[in-house]
Structure 1
Amino acid sequence: MGQERPNDEERPESRDLGVYGCSPPHSPRLGPNRFSVFAGDPNPKLTIKRCKRKRIQACNDQRTATAAIGVMAILGFFCLVNWFMLSRLHEGRVWLRRGLSNNPKLVSAQNEERQKFEKPKRKYNGTYGRMLSLAAHALAEQNKLEPKELWQEPKEQASAWKPCADQRSWTPDDGKNGYIMVTANGGINQQRVAVCNIVVVARLLNAALVIPKFMLSDVWTDASQFGDIYQEDHFMEYLSPDIRIVTELPEELQSLDLEEIGSVVTDIEVMKEAKPDFYMTHILPILLKNRVIHFVGFGNRLAFDPLPFELQRLRCRCNFHALNFVPRIQETAALLVRRLRDSGSYYLALHLRFEIDMVAHSLCYFGGGETEQKELDSYRQKHFPSLSTLTKKKKFRSADVLRTEGLCPLTPEEAVLMLAALGFNRETRVFVAGANIYGGSKRLAVLTSLYPNLVTKEKLLTESELQPFKNFSSQLAALDFIACAAADAFAMTDSGSQLSSLVSGYRIYYGGGKMPTIRPNKRRLSDILLKNSTIEWNVFERRVRKAIRQTKHVFARPNGRSVYRYPRCKECMCHA
């Protein structure tokens, strides 16, 4: 019945060859067909050999593909495991961080353990004996010439900017919306900024401005009013094309209780550097309702940007043109400047902002030990009670951190080292602006030991010439302002000082590219000074000069920065 077919079992090649496209010439089942590669082949043995080679090559290709897929699978598996492990590690760190944050003792212990292996940081000890000795030796070299750039600005770029804030392109406002009063706080320089800001607000709100008043400060202890420092008539006349200015409120408004009707606005109610929209939205309705607004304080309560072009120009016009000192101050300041130039040489003005109020408010350490700390704590409690209370409730950055971040005012020792490193020779006439330097004559002696021609207004003016200004710190500061503004070179020690800021801006506006200002980068300078126990003088000199040179670039006012300090902008100055 059923015959065996051994040939069918013994031809595995036949199936394999069929798979790879080489069918046998005569299939025992189907026989020859038109798709067979052997059909009509005159040399079937050669064809079979070729098919075998193709089959071997195909097997190799298949193995290679399988191996590649396997490698990719293994790599994918490892990536997945790696991702899983990293995510678990991150979750563990988050958990650990949360746990530590709730346990300050563990945090402290961890920090102490880490600090054992860290490189110890240099700390400020308030002494510069070695560096001062090196400076004295360097200044004693008679044949050493001063660098030319000490008394120069990059003239070509700087002289391309010309004052033009006096130009107007609008008609006067009638001030029909009401009256604005201001009682400005702070010293003379903060008050000057407040006056120019309130002039802009008056124009913005179409209000008449009452001649500003100045608040008596327990720090400055000066009862001077606007007319004691600035020429009222010139102020009113010069700004008459811009705003309406009156000396007092009309009679019908003088009897009003401004606080009761809600017309008194303090600094607490106005955000710092408020934008014009704030005044239009919140202040104008009160003004229209009550006919009068009284701003109390008004320290930095108007933003620099965004502000319409003409309002920004009005700000500059007020500062650089409308605020002229009274003749008494101008005449005494002119006498001071003449005596500074008596020798016929250049003079350098140094604003050494190192009065006790600045020293106490900075929260820095200046090498005076426990006595200094107690004295400054006591001063803060009396004059800065909010800051004093805050220091007891909140942990502030340490004095060392503040110093490395450039947040401490330069000491007299640091200032004189900077001047010596810049190359000012020993015979330079140095005028020191500022009153009552913290540490007194002992601290100033460091300056005079290196620069014997160092003077103050108290040395250059007689007792009778200074008498009219006694007990009037703002008027004395006005003398310093003029002497610094007229100097051949001006050096500041704290860029946050309003006097330094206003003087540097005044020198830019009127200097014509011939009045250089030295603005130290205190962060970089601090880093250099902390190496005072090891650094060599030539290295110190080179690094200080490089740091100062980088601050002398001529550039337009950055957005949001003060036009009083950076008047190189289209609103204040015209670029040729």
Structure 2
Amino acid sequence: MVTANGGINQQRVAVCNAVAVARLLNATLVLPKFMYSSVWKDASQFGDIYQEEHFINYLKDDIPIVKELPEELRSLDLEAIGSVVMDTDVIKEAKPSFYLKYILPILHLNKVVHFVGFGNRLASDPMPHELQRLRCRCNFHALRFVPKIQETGAMLIRRMRQNDTGLGHLDPYLVGQYAQLKKKGEKDSPPKKSRYLALHLRFEIDMVAHSLCEFGGGEEERHELEAYRKVHFPALVEQKKTKKLPSPKQLRSEGLCPLMPEETVLMLAALGFNRRTHIYLAGSHIYGGYSRLNALTTLFPNLVTKENLLTPAEIEPFGNFSSQLAALDFIVCTAADVFAMTDSGSQFSSLIAGYRIYYGGGKMPTIRPNKRRLADIFERNNTIEWKVFETRVRKAVRQNKRVFSRPVGRSVYRYPRCQDCMCNTE
């Protein structure tokens, strides 16, 4: 059994890792459950986001999956018999040998083991070929969004494409039966070329506060972020008291600060995007609110969010479910003609980038900026000529554009280009 924590991205990784661990232990997997988080405040369970029957049937030749714990095991007090394994009990990036040595004996003794938390608790390497391939198949094939999410995701994609009749490269994998070239009754016509850029601006208050950077808000900003840290990152507050941490200026020069909306505008403009560009902005809780987005919306008036594109009645079923709303963002960002991220460490952006590599056939560009290089360029933006600035930004982004195989020790969800995942092997 697995109860995954975090938001939809952490849960997705946890599910794929759980499938691999069940195979490793030769165990039956109970359909994963999702832990309620005080941060995400979403009570959604697996079946509210992913198609249960498809998940079970797709993986049936790999592992047996049941919806509930067998009746003879339900009366057990799992905590009392030592069958509950907390996130803190499993080392990060644990190797298969860890599970065989410490978890398998619990399973043999008690017939059941329950992982509470889980997340990033299975190593990327070294990993047996069949396990690596299995979690790759789980991520890219077994996890399919429920029709409610697919239908609304397809609606968002159509509206971003100005209701054109063209079928996007990834649409069938993302929205299934709702990926249609034309509606019933419509005449055949050449598809229009209406394109859009999707942007994941990782500038929420949790990211901003945890970075320990400064963003031009002066004393008021410092007090606000420190108050947030005391509630959500108490360990970081204690660390600040006992250790000499890098200054905000040092952090920025090292590329360790989130890109501000103002910096993102400069980057996109230098790359050639202009006022006519249609932009879908993922997420909506930008630190500083919509006033902080003024720089973006002024230069890019065609910037929208799902809240702009959907009517109140259309978005209402998703209103209290942040993970389901994130699933809509996942669909629209993954299907975009170009996807731009501002933080390459973001799990949301990483999963999208990996999905675009896996299904994109090399035709789905992703902008992944080198923040350290950009920070150096931005420091001189008061005196630098625009043409020079443009050239340097394009060079900094181009350096991260290269296609390469999965580096050793890196996630197959983010880097699926490897023999275990994308290559046909005997």
Report the TM-score, using the length of structure 1 for normalisation.
0.68
Q: Aligned partners of 2:249, 2:20: CA distance in 1, in Å?
A: 41
More displaced 10-residue stretch of structure 1: 336-345 or 190-199: 336-345
Q: Aligned partners of 2:406, 2:225: CA distance in 1, in Å?
A: 36
2:176 aligns with none
| 1:513 and 2:333 correspond | no
| 1:211 and 2:31 correspond | yes
CA contact (8 A) 2:279 2:303 kept: yes
Q: Aligned partners of 1:294, 1:563: CA distance in 2, in Å?
A: 25
Q: 1:551 is matched with which residue: 393, 400, 413? A: 400
Q: Which structure has the larger Rg?
A: 1
Q: What are the equivalent positions in structure 2 for 1:79-478 lying under 5 Å apart?
A: 181-342=1-162, 344-478=193-327
1:562 aligns with 411
1:497 aligns with 346
Q: Aligned partners of 1:267, 1:567: CA distance in 2, in Å?
A: 26
Q: Aligned partners of 2:33, 2:237: CA distance in 1, in Å?
A: 29
SS across alignment from 2:395: helix
CA contact (8 A) 1:219 1:357 kept: no
- Per-residue displacement from partner, 1:404-435 (whole Å, max 9, x unpaired)? 11111111111111000111122010111112
> Shift in Å at residue 345 of structure 1?
2.0
Q: 1:486 is matched with which residue: 335, 357, 377? A: 335
Q: Aligned partners of 1:300, 1:196: CA distance in 2, in Å?
A: 10
- Per-residue displacement from partner, 1:68-105 (whole Å, max 9, x unpaired)? xxxxxxxxxxxxxxxxxxxxxxxxxxxxxxxxxxxxxx
RMSD of aligned residue pairs (Cα, Å): 1.2
CA contact (8 A) 1:218 1:383 kept: no
AA paired with 1:284? L
CA contact (8 A) 2:92 2:121 kept: yes
1:535 aligns with 384
Report the TM-score, using the length of structure 2 for normalisation.
0.91
Could you list the runs of 4 or more consecutive aligned residues of structure 1 that deviate by over 6 angstroms after TM superposition? Answer: none
More displaced 10-residue stretch of structure 1: 513-522 or 390-399: 390-399
Q: Aligned partners of 1:296, 1:364: CA distance in 2, in Å?
A: 33
What runs of 5+ residues in structure 2 fail to find an aligned partner? 164-192
Q: Aligned partners of 1:292, 1:498: CA distance in 2, in Å?
A: 30
Q: Aligned partners of 2:40, 2:265: CA distance in 1, in Å?
A: 27
Aligned length: 396
AA paired with 1:571? D
More displaced 10-residue stretch of structure 1: 337-346 or 477-486: 337-346
> Shift in Å at residue 490 of structure 1?
0.3
Q: Aligned partners of 1:553, 1:202: CA distance in 2, in Å?
A: 35
What runs of 5+ residues in structure 1 fail to find an aligned partner? 1-180
AA paired with 2:234? P
1:125 aligns with none
